[in-house]
Structure 1
């Protein structure tokens, strides 16, 4: 899995880069077929904007973005959004063949 961190209108510090790499690396725990994660950090007029793009198998692309006054809580919020998206896809794939649903009730075919 490749993780790209890009800064627009700002210099990405080592501390922020390490934090992003740690958070993005944990996303593979929710969906193991991730090929690439691209993180774009932008700073304009006292506000940070962050966008995270996750590319997985079968041309699945997941995008989460947000803006706020501080970068670290913003990255946390965006990774939580992506975790929900990845969990949803994994549940869809798991229940595709008619196994147990998320609530534990079997589906009738």
Structure 2
């Protein structure tokens, strides 16, 4: 599975593209436009990341995703980007077993 994320700061003034690859629900490699190459997150991702990073044309395409995918979709879906809601968080004490944490707070959103 491949998951993509676009992170925007001040509209499209600062844009970051992150593409993460998963196998068996575990992230094993990531492309981050701020880094400019694939990074292995597990041993399983080491060889694919090295291979992809060695492909000059493929890496140029990945680096261009910031504009092709993120900035383009920002313009298309601009009305959604501004529809943000205030987050809510609940903090409550959790029951712990003896000899574990004396005070444990759990935060959920």
* Larger-Rg structure: 2
In the superposition, the TM-score normalised over structure 2's length comes to 0.28
In the superposition, the TM-score normalised over structure 1's length comes to 0.28
Q: Which has the higher contact order (CA 8 A, sep 6+)?
A: 1
Higher helix proportion, which one? 1
